[in-house]
Structure 1
Amino acid sequence: MTTQLGRQGSDWWRGAVIYQIYPRSFQDTNGDGIGDLKGVIERLDYIASLNVDAIWLSPFFTSPMKDFGYDISDYRGVDPMFGSLEDFDRLVEAAHARGLRVTIDQVLSHTSDQHPWFAESRASRDNARADWYVWADARPDGAPPTNWQSVFGGSAWQWDTRRCQYYLHNFLSSQPDLNFRNPEVVEAILGEVRFWLERGVDGFRLDAVNFCTHGELRDNPPRESSAEGFLGVRPDNPYGFQLHHHDKTQPENLAFLEKLRALLDEYPGTTSVGEVGDDDSLGVMAAYTQGGKRLHMAYSFDLLGERHDPAFLRDTLTEMEARIGDGWPCWALGNHDVTRLASRWNAENDAAKLRLYLAFLLTQRGSVCLYQGEELGLPEATLTFEQLVDPAGITFWPAYKGRDGCRTPLPWAAQAAQAGFSGGAPWLPIPEAHRALAVDRQEADPAALLHATRALLAFRRTQPALVKGDIRYHPVRDEVLCLERAYQGQRLLVALNFSDQARELPAPQAARPLDAAPELVNGTWTNGRLRLPPHGIAIARCPQSDAEDTSWDV
């Protein structure tokens, strides 16, 4: 199955805005309290109205749901709770009809322990798939083969009494890691990817893609101080106590990514974005996307933490630019694994801050992932322990509340039962605070964040420099992040005020406001001065001949 849209515009992904849908929390159509593919189809007009370029569907595959779909038992099946393959085909067709491309999650590094491959692999040491997963003998004292830790806490090795060996699981013990050192595994995985390419998908978001290969079975060294933690991992999790030299991000992974890219290149117009988590995540992003032979783009957790001062943001992005070369980044400020942006960056019920953060995201060089609910400014939901279903939250409570708080159902109608999400009791409760931010409320309020999001996304589409241009950062002054974008003769100046105080800065004399800019772009450029209100946003055009003006570098 292919469609015309899905096979046109081979570089559509470069600078694209991809709207992430967590299907079980988007829209339920059958009253079971769980969102489904028909619900996504029902809301495609809303998604298209946001002026995004594509959707990313979190896993909807057949799964025991111990990690809510990231534990796959059938790569080619739609779990009945989400619908059917026919529903998926209709979704792709309906999305393409609206100019939306469709990307889907692919979890390649591991499967569910209920996958038929694993059932056969664990049955004996000499069956056809005995070496399809990472098996190892115990140490002489019965201990696991190495000291490697699971992201979800505890040893990354699970004893199996059928084979009397340990198997590797970097996540839950019910998520055994595939052995990518086995060529048969690589070919099988590529076959699963090809299945969805043939159904017309436009791309893949690759979960934990740097976990696909493991190194020698040697102990990881400890960190000098466990208090340092690890990017994206809390200090109460022993996973952060180690330097992960041997259990992930191995050089052999590059060869697999090249094979994956070669497959995608057979289907012009398709793309890939890899999720990477590593001590040197920016370096991995660069290595995985450079040269046009591996991933099209990659993102990390660097902007998904709590720190968001302009100096930190500029330093992170400047380092990325210095290292990525001809590679291409993808940036996100929120997703299904982290505390919602409005709460994490201290912007609950603060539309000015949220507009600023959106403008920051949309003016960087790279593609963008926008998580469902960010266009509404939803804060993190506060849940009791009894309401949790996320295994990570249950394991690390009370220091960590898990990921359920960012996964609660989207509120569509403030006064409707279950906020218009479902006719039945939802799988996670809908906070009352979210009702005030429901879609119907914001549709009726011209000043709402929803309208600002649409306006800024529509404006960005008309500015080639913001979509595909080069970037240059200037010094941060008085909490104002200054940068410029340039592409094929268009040069734009961008200033973002992260302060709650008005700021005035010197600016190039030739800077002129853009007539097409929406009202939320509220800075003023006059006679070589830039004035910004608290959390203000300024974008101006400036001729290339003025590129050496040093006003911003004072």
Structure 2
Amino acid sequence: MVQLSERMNEESATIKNRQWWKEAVVYQIYPKSFYDSNGDGIGDLKGVIQKLDYLKELGIDVIWLSPVYQSPMDDNGYDISDYQAIAEEFGSMEDMDLLIHEAKKRNIKIIMDLVVNHTSDEHEWFIESKSDVNHPKRDWYIWRNGRKDEAPPNNWKSIFGGSCWEYDEQTGQYYLHAFSKKQPDLNWENPDLRNAVYKMVRWWLDKGISGFRVDAITFIKKRQDFADSHDGMNVIETNQQGIHEFLSELRKEAFTSHDILTVAEAPGVSYKELPIYAGEDGHFSMLFEFDHVDLDVGKEGKWYEPYNWNLLDFKKAISDSQTFYNNTGWGALYLENHDQPRSLNKFIKPEDIGPIPAKMLATVYFFLKGTPFIYQGQEIGMTNVQYPSIEHYNDLASIDQYYSALKEGFSKEEALAAIWRRSRDNSRTPMQWNHSEYAGFSQGTPWLEINSNYSFINVENALKDHNSLFYFYKKLISLRKSSPYSDVIAFGKYEDMFKDSLQIMVYTRELNDKKIAVIANFDNKELTLNLDFNIKNVILSNYDYLELHLNQIKLRPYESIVCEVDLSF
């Protein structure tokens, strides 16, 4: 026993910076679609509280709560009109306090979205800013004169389409908005604005939350010459020189006061810059990367001009990131979120979608180095929705993409097919709790139509079937958190194998005297795989029985196996 204890201590000593969030599993809740407690068709904070025991049963440690702040909901809550108030449709600040308290009783932490590139145009700061060119808060936003021909200040385009400048008749100037015209960008060059942001962040941390998912943070630094863009796309350039001064100050003045998790949405960050953003002493705990989930997006972000990708592209995106994290930093592992379609539709052929492929996908990403994120409904195999026309969609980006496709000559059928494939509403359809009316999400008509497959894909069915995807995720979480393989899963070195295969993905994780291999068949055909190592022990499989020898595996369609490698040979 003494020898075992000494060895465990030695192994722990080799693991640097064992922060709590490195051994946690995060569950993202999109509150509007999670559970409606009062029958108005909109999910709310009391609904989240009522489902905490379900999340405890799954085994997660952290809830990432998408925006519940006061907002006119032009962009589903990412247009905030008061950072220190709760939107009435979601409840009250008392409900928020109760959620934090009840989650803590179940050893579940809460992180929230931090949206500080922009506010709503209904935020008090902006109302004051636009009231007078001489107002003290005028410079809290970005105002510029138009050109002599009364055109906008430059040719930059909004992410949601059209110019990123909106003219204000009252003061005769334009304000900048990277996203919707109802989301004016904050001016991070102004120190008073920055201090107001830091004060707000500390207020939430003092209230008891455990961190933030930081939205669109690489947009906060703008080119100060405001010159025309000549790249043909004319979008606002992210990650501009000088941004690191802002981010270092944000971390110092707001984040370091508590032991928290921060995960940044940071488009435009190259692998070379990852150490600065998510290294051991980086601006954030980790980053969300996009290369592996946006493989199918066409040039200039056009959904209707999809890029034809294959498994080699996916494996390269994963490997490039994981190889980097072998040396420094930490990854945010995910396949779905509120801005992405459902992973089963993205990675699996339509005719093959089901529990076996879903378990394979879960296996592939859950054993990588980083903190796993599960998006609501992912654990029961929820899929994309196909509404009959664009009028059924709520997502601003989907509507913009649809009409942009029509302008470029695509038919209505082709444009709608693109929306079926990539719409953000795919992941925002209400959570499917049971087979009753409205999938048990609400007693009233939901704000967004339920996916028609709720009668068989739902939580109630998943909990009854101990071979379901839900219980498979529960096993994955248990393996990461409380098994003999926990340390090697969390901290082991990553190495990919069979790099040139278009059918299989294989990688290993190794730490001290333990090595595991993750083997996944992405095809609907059987194949035989000859390994250059012997299998010591099978840890997990998505089939009921296995067909394998010491160093040879016969893989069935979408089969995945996690095994311990025999290091004695």
Q: Per the shorter chain, which TM-score range?
A: 0.7 to 0.9
Q: Distance in 1 between matches of 2:311 and 2:401?
A: 31
Cα deviation for residue 178 of structure 1 reads 0.2
Q: Distance in 1 between matches of 2:237 and 2:530?
A: 50
Alignment of 1:112-123 (within 5 A): 112-123=120-131
The 3 A distance-change label for structure 1 pair 487 and 251 is farther
TM-score (norm 1): 0.88
The 3 A distance-change label for structure 1 pair 83 and 283 is farther
Cα deviation for residue 198 of structure 1 reads 0.6
Q: Structure 1 residue 535 and structure 2 residue 558: aligned? A: yes
Aligned to 2:377: 373
Stretch deviating more after TM superposition (433-442 or 21-30): 433-442
Cα deviation for residue 116 of structure 1 reads 0.4
Alignment of 1:144-543 (within 5 A): 144-216=152-224, 217-223=226-232, 241-242=233-234, 247-263=237-253, 266-278=256-268, 281-283=270-272, 285-305=274-294, 307=296, 309-323=310-324, 325-346=327-348, 349-383=353-387, 384-397=389-402, 399=415, 401=419, 402-414=423-435, 416-461=436-481, 462=483, 463-476=486-499, 477=501, 479-514=503-538, 517=540, 520=543, 525-542=548-565
Cα deviation for residue 159 of structure 1 reads 0.9
Give yes or no for contact 1:281–1:300 (8 Å, CA) kept in 2.
no
Alignment of 1:53-72 (within 5 A): 53-72=61-80
Q: Distance in 2 between matches of 1:524 and 1:97?
A: 44
Cα deviation for residue 50 of structure 1 reads 1.5
Fraction of identical pairs, as percent: 33
Unpaired runs of at least 5, structure 2: 1-16, 297-308, 403-411
Of 20, 34, 42, the match for 1:34? 42
Stretch deviating more after TM superposition (375-384 or 303-312): 303-312
The 3 A distance-change label for structure 1 pair 522 and 134 is farther
Q: Distance in 1 between matches of 2:512 and 2:323?
A: 21
The 3 A distance-change label for structure 1 pair 286 and 316 is farther
Cα deviation for residue 283 of structure 1 reads 4.6
Of 92, 96, 102, the match for 2:100? 92
AA aligned to 2:478 is A
Stretch deviating more after TM superposition (253-262 or 399-408): 399-408
Cα deviation for residue 439 of structure 1 reads 0.8
Cα deviation for residue 362 of structure 1 reads 0.4
Q: Distance in 2 between matches of 1:478 and 1:174?
A: 45
Q: Distance in 1 between matches of 2:397 and 2:69?
A: 21
Q: Distance in 2 between matches of 1:168 and 1:39?
A: 37
Q: Distance in 2 between matches of 1:389 and 1:439?
A: 25
The 3 A distance-change label for structure 1 pair 528 and 291 is closer
Give yes or no for contact 1:455–1:518 (8 Å, CA) kept in 2.
no
The 3 A distance-change label for structure 1 pair 323 and 215 is farther
Stretch deviating more after TM superposition (452-461 or 47-56): 452-461
Give yes or no for contact 2:141–2:187 (8 Å, CA) kept in 1.
yes
The 3 A distance-change label for structure 1 pair 403 and 321 is closer
Of 91, 105, 109, the match for 2:117? 109
Give yes or no for contact 2:528–2:555 (8 Å, CA) kept in 1.
yes
Cα deviation for residue 436 of structure 1 reads 1.3
Cα deviation for residue 459 of structure 1 reads 2.2
Deviations 1:333-383 (A, max 9, x none): 111112211222235542221111111110111122211111111111122
Q: Distance in 2 between matches of 1:370 and 1:283?
A: 27
Task: Specify the SS of the correspondent of 2:146.
Answer: coil
AA aligned to 1:386 is E
Deviations 1:55-104 (A, max 9, x none): 10000000000101000000011111111111111111111221211111
Deviations 1:453-491 (A, max 9, x none): 222222232222112222111233362211111234321
Task: Specify the SS of the correspondent of 1:513.
Answer: strand
Unpaired runs of at least 5, structure 1: 1-8, 224-240, 547-554
Give yes or no for contact 2:522–2:557 (8 Å, CA) kept in 1.
yes
Q: Distance in 1 between matches of 2:252 and 2:87?
A: 29
AA aligned to 1:439 is V
The 3 A distance-change label for structure 1 pair 10 and 261 is farther
Stretch deviating more after TM superposition (79-88 or 44-53): 44-53
Give yes or no for contact 1:355–1:520 (8 Å, CA) kept in 2.
no
Aligned to 1:44: 52
Cα deviation for residue 264 of structure 1 reads 5.3
AA aligned to 1:97 is K
Task: Specify the SS of the correspondent of 1:184.
Answer: helix
The 3 A distance-change label for structure 1 pair 104 and 182 is same
Q: Distance in 2 between matches of 1:126 and 1:497?
A: 64
Of 150, 170, 178, the match for 1:142? 150
Q: Distance in 2 between matches of 1:291 and 1:452?
A: 32
Cα deviation for residue 411 of structure 1 reads 1.1
Stretch deviating more after TM superposition (250-259 or 160-169): 250-259
Cα deviation for residue 521 of structure 1 reads 8.4
Q: Distance in 2 between matches of 1:380 and 1:283?
A: 35
The 3 A distance-change label for structure 1 pair 342 and 281 is farther
TM-score (norm 2): 0.86
Q: Distance in 2 between matches of 1:319 and 1:154?
A: 34
AA aligned to 2:58 is L
Task: Specify the SS of the correspondent of 1:354.
Answer: helix
Give yes or no for contact 2:23–2:480 (8 Å, CA) kept in 1.
no
Task: Specify the SS of the correspondent of 2:222.
Answer: coil
AA aligned to 1:504 is T
AA aligned to 1:385 is I
Cα deviation for residue 442 of structure 1 reads 1.7
Q: How many residues align?
A: 516
Q: Distance in 2 between matches of 1:179 and 1:521?
A: 57
Give yes or no for contact 2:37–2:46 (8 Å, CA) kept in 1.
yes
Q: Distance in 2 between matches of 1:166 and 1:254?
A: 27
Give yes or no for contact 2:359–2:469 (8 Å, CA) kept in 1.
yes
Q: Distance in 1 between matches of 2:317 and 2:162?
A: 31
Q: Distance in 2 between matches of 1:265 and 1:456?
A: 30
Give yes or no for contact 2:199–2:254 (8 Å, CA) kept in 1.
no
